[in-house]
A and B are shown apart, each in its own frame.
Chain A
Amino acid sequence: MSGPPTLALANVSKSFGAVRALRDVSLELFPGEAHALAGENGAGKSTLVKTLAGVHRPDSGQVLLGGEPVTFAGPADAQQAGVAVIYQEPTLFPDLSVAENIFMGRQPRTSLGRIDRKAMHAQARRLFERLGVTLDPEQPARGLSIADQQLVEIAKAISRDARVLVMDEPTAALSGNEVARLFSVVEALREQGCAILFISHRLDEIFSLCQRVTTLRDGAWIASEPVEGLTHDDLIRRMVGRDLDALYPKQDTTAGEVALQVERLTREGYFTDVSFQVRRGEIVALAGLVGAGRSEVARAVFGIDRWDAGSVTVAGRPLPAGSPTAAMGAGLALVPEDRRQQGLVMELSIERNIGLTGLRSLRRGVTISRAAERDRARDWALRLQLKFGRLSDGVGVLSGGNQQKVVLAKWLATEPSVLIVDEPTRGIDVGTKAEVHRLLSELAGQGIAVLMISSDLPEVLGMADRVLVMHEGRLTAEISRAEATEESVMSAATGRAA
């Protein structure tokens, strides 16, 4: 590590009102190094990223580019200086095509100066090939799954030939295969001398990709050190400030009667002939690659989309197609994958968001009881250890992981009998992840049937009583807890096994 760091922060502090998101934090990114940034939800990671990206101006301290102090007036300045950023929440324009989003503002031109669509689409296709994903460059960004949006953001960032690549939880919605491809691309960039800043709550990823790691706790710098020689437990201790117990405490339960029965469910173009059941007290995982149709099945079961054939039965009663209201009435709850669009109303406060699923039960006479609304929110905020200022604060200022907790709270508060969770721990830190797992396990213990979609393999293996695997819209395997291993799940997910 000779020469000055490509990009660095020196003694940076940043506050939002009373919240001190960063306190006197320093960080150096050298050419050819992949540097991890670790910390709990709300530790200040995204704030640090936005400071590097020119979105936030530090209250004090400096940003250094090649050793020289710089002031980025905005994200455009940082981009100009060769800093490419993947933000935690995708920022695509829904009405533009995937390719237009990738090449926004720097579209290839024809000799006449018009946008060369052919060249643009071809370049986009090459990017996707490098990433090993099948996405259509010409389709509009609207309607892309959260994982696909993330992949488009990744393609956008790596297409910039940046000197610094900053990635804020790029893998949170991706499964093993996509992560592996992303890492090989990042590895190549690193070897060309690019500096990488990488954030993830999956510690394995940090250990396999990065050489150094900086840890933040409550906005303060804790350590910057080589990854080599560090153990998982060391890193968790730095992040949390204490030791943590077992990470996946799913208790054995005896499965009760069938709570959710899905029979030959088909939605043309998305999934075909999907049949399974979930019993009370069971946690059933739905595994597979991104795009296998897992979220689509969940959406159909909950009534967001209509199905074309088949049936869904809850506690012995058939459910009508296409009605979330009816599904909720039958005791179903869906924690959706995309918290910004589907899970939360960003403009509303924490308590209003949590109350939104209980407008009926919060009613006293004709009006809503504000006290009951607040109690419901406070109760669940405490149970999920939500980090917040006031319950009347907009949910938009919470850190990503804390927003995810609000989505969970909003649905757990409906006291469902069948809980479908789509990536329940996406963007959630290790401590809280264990907490969410404990909670899911406890809910199952109380007789709730849980269907869990997850791209996080250790989570699937640790939590599930049974693993269902989907591949290209079909269920390809059902694996019992005893037989479920990384290999057996992955080979079914990639379609290699029968």
Chain B
Amino acid sequence: MAKVLRWDVMVGVLLVAVFAGGSFTSPGFATIGNLSFALGDLGEIALIALTMTMLVVAAEVDLSVASVLGLSSALVGALWDGGMAIETIIPLVVLVGALCGLVNGLLVTKLGLPSLAVTIGTLALYRGLAYVVLGDKAVAQFPREFTALAVDDVPGTFIPYPVALFVLLAVVVAIVLHATGFGRSLFAIGAQEQAAFFAGIRVKRIKLLLFVLSGTVAAFAGVVFTLRYGSARADNGMGIELAVIAAVLLGGVDFDGGKGTLGGVIAGVLLIGLLRNLLMLNDVSTEIQSIVTGLLLIISVLTPRLITALKPALSRRRTSTDQVGPESALKGSP
């Protein structure tokens, strides 16, 4: 029974259901062309979700990712406008993303501030910087050979390049998270930071690294975003941090840290992607899309708690033992 109620399994089932439902109701949905587009459209969210998963497992969060993406896009535009070669621009911009992450990380680890507050602050700060860099302008006319990298499929497949990159990185992150000492440390830090520190784990250094990675990946996602739309703007990717976090939480990662699987997160990302695509196909307005994202976020936080609350009642009805039940009355201890 515990297996059936496992959250990441349920999300997988939900994914299949949405897919089946979509194919029935929207004729254009289950075509290879559309699915390939839907995947590509998901690229940035999916990439950022990888680093976000590691952060949330370690009981931290980075809300500034969409702003770093915007800043990166604005920088690409401004530098390109200024005549710099795109080969120089990309590493430079990614470096700026790493710096943004470093600032977040230092504020959290050196000053001991909560990451939720810090990154809400830098969410506003980095977006502001994006406007300082590029203003209201849009810069377009990127060379075709570069935009092609962001939209075209890997030759002979229906997989866009960014998705291929995501698959590669996802494998790496899955191994790191679930099979290495670093991954073990993340779970320990998220579940009981003090015990992790006592066990000789370099808690602060690891957290700093996570924030730097998060900034780096977000900036890189900004490059992908810019090339994919062929347009650099300061307001690019506004608000996608919510979609990323919704995907991570939908994937069964506990917002309090210490629990989650990357497989679950990938299912969560795909679910969000398919839903967004379905809504778009049916011409649903962006306001409604935002409402759906918000609802998903709340549902994904709420449902696991409901399940935990209901589990003892369910199992008592069947076997009259309570494995997790009343014990929880004692929780909340320091």
* B184 contacts A341, C-beta separation under 8 Å: no
Contact with B along A330-359 (1 / 0, CB 8 A): 000010100011111111100010011101
* B333 contacts A357, C-beta separation under 8 Å: no
**Which residues of chain B come closer than 8 Å to A462, judged between CB atoms?**
none
Report which of A16, A356, A366 forms a contact with B199, defined as CB distance below 8 A: A356
Query: Which of the candidate stretches B31-39, B175-183, B224-232, B240-248 sits at the interface with the other chain?
Result: B175-183
In the complex, A352→B194 CA distance in Å? 16
**Which residues of chain B come closer than 8 Å to A304, judged between CB atoms?**
197-198
**Which residues of chain A come closer than 8 Å to B200, judged between CB atoms?**
324-325, 327-328, 357
Q: Is A118 an interface residue (CB 8 A)?
A: no
| With A57-B326, A328-B200 as contacts: A347 and B184 at CB distance below 8 Å | no
Q: Write the nearest CB–CB distance from A422 to chain B, whole angstroms.
A: 11
Which residue of B has the minimal Cβ distance to A341?
B194
Interface size, chain B (Cβ < 8 Å): 32
Q: Write the nearest CB–CB distance from A143 to chain B, whole angstroms.
A: 10
Contact with A along B194-212 (1 / 0, CB 8 A): 1111111110000000000
**Which residues of chain A come closer than 8 Å to B321, judged between CB atoms?**
15-17, 59
* A74 contacts B329, C-beta separation under 8 Å: yes
Q: Is A2 an interface residue (CB 8 A)?
A: no
| With A93-B332, A356-B196 as contacts: A59 and B320 at CB distance below 8 Å | yes
Within 8 A of B (CB), among A8-32: 15-17
Which residue of A has the minimal Cβ distance to B254?
A347
Q: Write the nearest CB–CB distance from A77 to chain B, whole angstroms.
A: 11
* B323 contacts A17, C-beta separation under 8 Å: yes
* A362 contacts B323, C-beta separation under 8 Å: no
Q: Is B330 an interface residue (CB 8 A)?
A: yes
Number of residue pairs A-B, CB distance < 8 angstroms:
106
* A55 contacts B195, C-beta separation under 8 Å: no
**Which residues of chain B come closer than 8 Å to A342, judged between CB atoms?**
194-195, 198
* A94 contacts B334, C-beta separation under 8 Å: yes
Report which of A341, A355, A356 forms a contact with B334, defined as CB distance below 8 A: A341
**Which residues of chain A come closer than 8 Å to B180, judged between CB atoms?**
363, 366-368
* B334 contacts A343, C-beta separation under 8 Å: no
**Which residues of chain B come closer than 8 Å to A359, judged between CB atoms?**
181, 184-185, 201
Which residue of B has the minimal Cβ distance to A356?
B199
| With A16-B323, A94-B334, A352-B184 as contacts: A324 and B198 at CB distance below 8 Å | yes
In the complex, A55→B320 CA distance in Å? 16
**Which residues of chain A come closer than 8 Å to B329, judged between CB atoms?**
55, 74-75
Q: Is B292 an interface residue (CB 8 A)?
A: no
| With A55-B327, A367-B180 as contacts: A89 and B202 at CB distance below 8 Å | no
Contact with A along B41-68 (1 / 0, CB 8 A): 0000000000000000000000000000
Q: Is A383 an interface residue (CB 8 A)?
A: no
Report which of A94, A345, A357, A363 forms a contact with B191, defined as CB distance below 8 A: A345
Q: Write the nearest CB–CB distance from B107 to chain A, whole angstroms.
A: 20
Within 8 A of A (CB), among B167-189: 175, 179-181, 184-185, 187-188
Main secondary structure of the interface of A (DSSP, over half): loop
**Which residues of chain A come closer than 8 Å to B196, judged between CB atoms?**
345, 356
* A345 contacts B188, C-beta separation under 8 Å: yes
Q: Write the nearest CB–CB distance from A350 to chain B, whole angstroms.
A: 14
Q: Write the nearest CB–CB distance from B318 to chain A, whole angstroms.
A: 13
* A92 contacts B334, C-beta separation under 8 Å: yes
**Which residues of chain B come closer than 8 Å to A232, judged between CB atoms?**
none
Q: Is A91 an interface residue (CB 8 A)?
A: yes
Which residue of A has the minimal Cβ distance to B327?
A55
Which residue of B has the minimal Cβ distance to A142?
B334
Q: Write the nearest CB–CB distance from A341 to chain B, whole angstroms.
A: 5
Q: Is A87 an interface residue (CB 8 A)?
A: yes
In the complex, A340→B179 CA distance in Å? 25
Q: Write the nearest CB–CB distance from A87 to chain B, whole angstroms.
A: 7
Q: Write the nearest CB–CB distance from A280 to chain B, whole angstroms.
A: 22
Q: Is A292 an interface residue (CB 8 A)?
A: no
Q: Write the nearest CB–CB distance from B163 to chain A, whole angstroms.
A: 25
* B179 contacts A93, C-beta separation under 8 Å: no
* A346 contacts B181, C-beta separation under 8 Å: no
Q: Is B311 an interface residue (CB 8 A)?
A: no
Q: Is A56 an interface residue (CB 8 A)?
A: yes
Q: Write the nearest CB–CB distance from B94 to chain A, whole angstroms.
A: 24
Q: Is A317 an interface residue (CB 8 A)?
A: no
Report which of B175, B192, B198, B332 forms a contact with A336, defined as CB distance below 8 A: B198
In the complex, A7→B179 CA distance in Å? 51
Q: Is A410 an interface residue (CB 8 A)?
A: yes
Q: Is A360 an interface residue (CB 8 A)?
A: yes
Q: Write the nearest CB–CB distance from A100 to chain B, whole angstroms.
A: 13
In the complex, A159→B265 CA distance in Å? 49
Which residue of B has the minimal Cβ distance to A96?
B334
Q: Write the nearest CB–CB distance from A124 to chain B, whole angstroms.
A: 18
Q: Is B137 an interface residue (CB 8 A)?
A: no
Report which of B184, B259, B327 forms a contact with A368, defined as CB distance below 8 A: B184
Which residue of A has the minimal Cβ distance to B182?
A359
Which residue of B has the minimal Cβ distance to A303?
B200
Which residue of B has the minimal Cβ distance to A339?
B195
Which residue of B has the minimal Cβ distance to A336?
B198
**Which residues of chain B come closer than 8 Å to A57, judged between CB atoms?**
322, 326
Q: Is B258 an interface residue (CB 8 A)?
A: yes
| With A324-B200, A345-B195 as contacts: A362 and B326 at CB distance below 8 Å | no
Which residue of A has the minimal Cβ distance to B205?
A325
**Which residues of chain A come closer than 8 Å to B320, judged between CB atoms?**
59
16 contacts between A and B (CB under 8 A): A17-B321, A55-B327, A56-B326, A57-B322, A74-B329, A141-B334, A304-B198, A344-B195, A348-B188, A352-B188, A355-B184, A357-B199, A359-B201, A363-B180, A368-B180, A368-B184
**4 nearest A-B pairs in the assembled complex, by CB-CB distance:** A359-B181, A94-B334, A91-B333, A367-B179
Q: Which positions in A face B, CB cutoff 8 Å? A: 15-17, 50, 55-57, 59, 74-75, 87, 89-94, 141-142, 149, 304, 324-325, 327-328, 334, 336, 340-348, 352, 355-357, 359-360, 362-363, 366-368, 410
Q: Could you list 8 further interchain pairs (A-B, Cβ under 8 angstroms) beyond the known A50-B326, A363-B181, A368-B184?
A: A91-B333, A304-B197, A324-B198, A325-B200, A336-B198, A342-B195, A356-B201, A368-B179
Q: Which positions in B face A, CB cutoff 8 Å? A: 175, 179-181, 184-185, 187-188, 191-192, 194-202, 258-259, 320-323, 326-327, 329-330, 332-334
